[in-house]
Amino acid sequence: MAIMHPTQIPEAYHAYSEVKFFNACKEQLSEKYHVFYSVRWYSSINGVREDSECDFLIFNPDYGFICVEVKGGTGIRVEDGVWYLIDHDDERKLKRSPYDQAEQSMRFFKKYYEDEMETQFHGVYGCAVAYPNYFINKPIAISSPMETTIDLTAMSDLQKRVTEIFRYFSSQWRKGSSFLSPDSQRKFISVINKRIALSISAGALIQDKERELLEINRTQDTVIDLLSHYPKAFIVGGAGTGKTWIGIKKIIRCVQGGGKALYLCYNKALAETVKEFTDVRADCYNIDAFAYSVLKDKALSAPEHEGCKNYSSLISDVSNLTKYDLVVIDEGQDFTEDWAFMANLLLKDSGSLYVFYDENQNIFRRNFGEKFFIDNPPFVLRYNIRNTANIYRYTQEHTNLGLDTIANQIEGVEPDYRSFSRKQQAIAFVDSVINKLVNKEGVLPQKIVILSNRRKDNSILNETSIVGSHPVSEVKYSQNSNIIAFRTVQGFKGLESDVVIYINHTYKNAPKTESDRATLYTAQTRARFYLYVIDFIESERI
């Protein structure tokens, strides 16, 4: 059985002919094969971007790859050089020959591999067109040889037909021979996954991820319905399991039902982001901002314990304190006992309190103890819905955290790890990555975040204001901005980005602490589709 990327496609959302070909590849091709479905790519013609798509890219390590364009309907014909797709009594004019489409994809991916790897592709590369629903008895046009055609007859023995196509192109391009080393095989698969991961639209793979999220949304709604029977509850889950979204939905339901709701977390940026998604009638604060909204200047002089301000004694003295029907605590592992106790002071007698947390992300090593006064065992969220499987598995392997969380089925590219001890080398690498992502891959700057375990003024980018020809800034920016965001891990907790470049400043031979592991786990799980990890190793701290 072939290795499919993605592992399956829902019949309800895809053309019957593509589903039929997908299933035939999966069931008939051997385990040697990697089959990639719906890989988007683009070219630039006279400065104008033109988006294209490869229906299927079939990779065999014994040969190389072929790009296959699939056409459905009940027939196809050519008249005066124009191609028409027939579907019973209807006809639709095609923009160009499907054979030309397949060949363009083939040439793109060959060049893409060579540009990425900076070496020649030594395998076979070819293209074909598949008509899974009907017979093709003779060439449709001069430019559509039978050797590169897959029709209904060939669908019953697809592996034989695919092998014949590889051999045909082997004689055409490689003079009968090809060789791909094991390293070249791994690199090719990684390059195709990267094209998927970094694509603006990312083909059907990302579309299917959105559909998967819709299914998970329905599951989350079931969790919300269940929580209605528990006035107080813990909800525990690893990074990317949808804790924040459940909290947001619970708040929206409460407010729309006429109730008063409060969202509390420690991270200011997270509170501001959640505010954008909740009903305007809901209150969304980080701890310090909420305390100031109630206590004003008194909050600034609140007593401290272990570096955290204690607010509960001051808030308990407020005579007209607003009480809420619902209080949602997000990133609860960041809370102290005092803050947990304060949350209870904000509840109406019949109010509900829900605390979402992940002990794996306890980078501040805080402990809320028993002060939430919740006796029931926690509800557990098991499925990661944020990261590609490769990113989450990589994080599990390198931190030994989040092992109870199940990675989703969306495969991606392995994270790119680099280690530097010279500042200028590290900066040059970051600059080249940004330049390639934005200018070559077409990734929007606002889809990229540079994360660091230090503030910018204490990081390797302390004197850098431009990366990859784009400004880099810690200042909050609009979604239409051309700025690359720089954020600390602490300030980005609970948030996510399509692409994350994590700069981990470390000291030579410094022992790894629990806080270091939690920080690494938190940082790496902010990335949805692609992750760069940079260890910048400094001399031993004196």
**What is the C-alpha to C-alpha distance for residues 336 and 317, in angstroms, rounded to an integer?**
20
CB 251 within 8 A of CB 326: yes
Give the integer Cα–Cα distance in Å for 61 and 31.
11
Q: Is residue 339 part of a domain?
A: yes
H or E stretch covering 525 = none
220 is a domain residue? no
Instruction: Provide the domain count of the chain.
Output: 3
Is position 282 within any domain?
Answer: yes
| pLDDT for the residue 202 | 38
Of 335, 350, 381, the one marking the end of a domain is: 381
Cα(354)–Cα(327) distance, rounded to whole angstroms?
Answer: 7
Task: Clarify whether residues 352 and 400 are in a common domain.
Answer: no
Residue 204 domain-assigned?
no
Contact by Cβ (8 Å): 369, 306: no
- The DSSP secondary-structure symbol of 383 reads B
Specify the pairing of strand 232-237 against strand 347-357. Answer: parallel
- Give a yes or no: residue 515 inside a domain: yes
Residues 185 and 276 in one domain: no
One domain, residues 98 and 114? yes
Residue 345 and residue 250 share a domain: yes
Q: Return d(Cα 138, Cα 512) in angstroms, integer.
A: 67
Same domain, 64 and 133: yes
Q: Compute how many other C-beta atoms are within 10 angstroms of the C-beta atom of residue 374.
A: 18
Rg (CA), the chain: 27
In 3D space, the residue among 85, 107, 83 whose CA is nearest the CA of residue 96 turns out to be: 83
Amino acid at 392: Y
Taking the CB of residue 148, how many other CB atoms lie within 10 A of it? 23
- Tell me which residue range forms the domain holding 147: 3-195
What is this structure's pTM?
A: 0.76
CB atoms within 10 A of CB 323: 13
Residues 405 and 373 in one domain: no
CA distance 405 to 380: 10
Nearest to 102 by CA among 143, 72, 141, 132: 143
Please tell me whether residues 190 and 61 are part of one structural domain. yes
User: How far, CA to CA in Å, does 177 sit from each of 59, 109, 163, 173, 520?
Assistant: 16, 20, 14, 9, 46
CA distances from 57 to 163, 170, 297, 542 (A): 14, 17, 63, 54
362 plus 452 within the same structural domain: no
Would you state the structure tokens that stand for residue 79, as one six-digit string? 């008249």
User: Of 327, 349, 381, at which residue does a domain stop?
Assistant: 381
330 and 247 Cβ atoms separated by less than 8 Å: yes
User: Does one domain contain both 29 and 177?
Assistant: yes
> Is the bond leading into 6 cis (omega within 30 degrees of zero)?
yes
Sheet strands (E) in 367-496: 379-381, 416-420, 448-452, 466-467, 470-473, 484-488
Residues 275 and 339 in one domain: yes
**Phi and psi angles of residue 69, each rounded to the nearest 5 degrees, phi first:** -95, 130
Cα–Cα distance for residue pair 69/149, rounded to 1 Å: 10
CA separation, residue 60 to residues 67, 112, 123, 124, 164 (Å): 12, 18, 10, 9, 13
- Contact (CB, 8 A) for 328 and 487: no
Residue 223 lies in a domain: no
Among 53, 77, 67, smallest CA distance to 107 is for: 67
DSSP letter for each residue of 241-302:
SSHHHHHHHHHHHHHHTT--EEEEES-HHHHHHHHHHS-TTSEEEEHHHHHHHHHGGGGGG-
CATH of the domain at 372: 3.40.50.300
φ/ψ of 241, rounded to 5, equals -90, 5
Give the number of C-alpha atoms closer than 13 A to the C-alpha of residue 269, restricted to the C-beta side.
16
List CB contacts of 295: < 8 A, sequence separation 6 or more.
302, 311, 314, 315, 318
Q: Count CA within 13 A, CB hemisphere, residue 414.
A: 11
CA–CA separation, 316 and 78 (whole Å): 81
Q: From the DSSP assignment, how many helices (H) and strands (E) are in the chain?
A: 13, 24
Tokens 């319905």 belong to: 225
Q: Are residues 449 and 512 in the same domain?
A: yes
Q: What pLDDT is recorded for position 479?
A: 62
409: number of Cβ within 10 Å: 14
Same domain, 414 and 348: no
Q: Compute the distance between CA of residue 58 and CA of residue 50 in angstroms, rounded to an integer.
A: 23
203 lies in a domain? no
Half-sphere exposure of 200 (CA within 13 A, CB side): 17
> Could you tell me if residue 218 is inside a domain?
no
pLDDT along the chain (542 residues), means of 10: 83 85 96 88 68 89 93 92 90 92 92 85 92 93 92 95 94 62 80 64 46 63 78 93 90 94 96 90 96 95 92 93 96 97 95 96 95 93 87 95 87 86 95 87 86 96 93 76 92 92 91 91 93 90 49
The CA angle 475-522-210, to the nearest 5 degrees, is 85
Last residue of a domain, one of 381, 416, 443: 381
